């Protein structure tokens, strides 16, 4: 019904051309937040998981292990996927290596001392 003036059309075209720069500027804070989260949260967690996986793979007879359920015992037999853990003298249980939460090296400090 009404025709838009030529100056309004020119202003609209200029605003659209600057839209890509505006979009980049509006996405910059999100990218910055992701980078900060990566270096403060994701990367340290990946390092801890890698260290835990390496220590689980290197568990050997005599190491003190903590299971995911919180049981602390001494590794008496180690297979590819399982570890036999002695919880008390004469009480041995088998546990999957994946359920081990921590490996304390031989001669480490006892839990309650």
pLDDT at 108: 59
d(CA 104, CA 110): 9
Confidence (pLDDT) at 105:
75
Residue 92's contacts (CB-CB under 8 Å, 6 or more residues apart) are: 76, 84, 85, 86
- What integer pLDDT is reported at residue 16 of this predicted model? 54
CB 86 within 8 A of CB 73: yes
Q: Which fold has domain 60-104?
A: SH3 type barrels. (2.30.30)
What's the pLDDT at 22?
Answer: 83
Low-confidence ranges of the chain (pLDDT < 70): 1-18, 107-113
Residue 64, classified by CB atoms within 10 Å of its CB into exposed (0-12), middle (13-18) or buried (19+), is buried
Residue ranges per structural domain of the chain? 6-54, 60-104
The conformation of residue 75, written as its DSSP 8-state character, comes to E
Checking phi first, is residue 22 left (phi over 0); if not, alpha (psi -120 to 50) or beta?
alpha
């Amino acid at each position: 019904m009404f025709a838009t003036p030529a100056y309004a059309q020119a202003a609209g075209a200029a605003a659209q051309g600057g839209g890509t720069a505006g979009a980049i500027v509006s996405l910059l804070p999100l990218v910055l937040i992701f980078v900060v989260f990566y270096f403060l949260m994701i990367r340290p967690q990946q390092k801890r998981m890698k260290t835990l996986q390496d220590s689980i793979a290197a568990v050997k007879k005599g190491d003190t292990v903590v299971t995911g359920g919180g049981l602390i015992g001494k590794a008496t037999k180690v297979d590819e996927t399982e570890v036999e853990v002695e919880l008390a003298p004469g009480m041995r249980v088998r546990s999957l290596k994946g359920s081990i939460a921590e490996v304390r090296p031989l001669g480490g400090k006892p839990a309650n001392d």
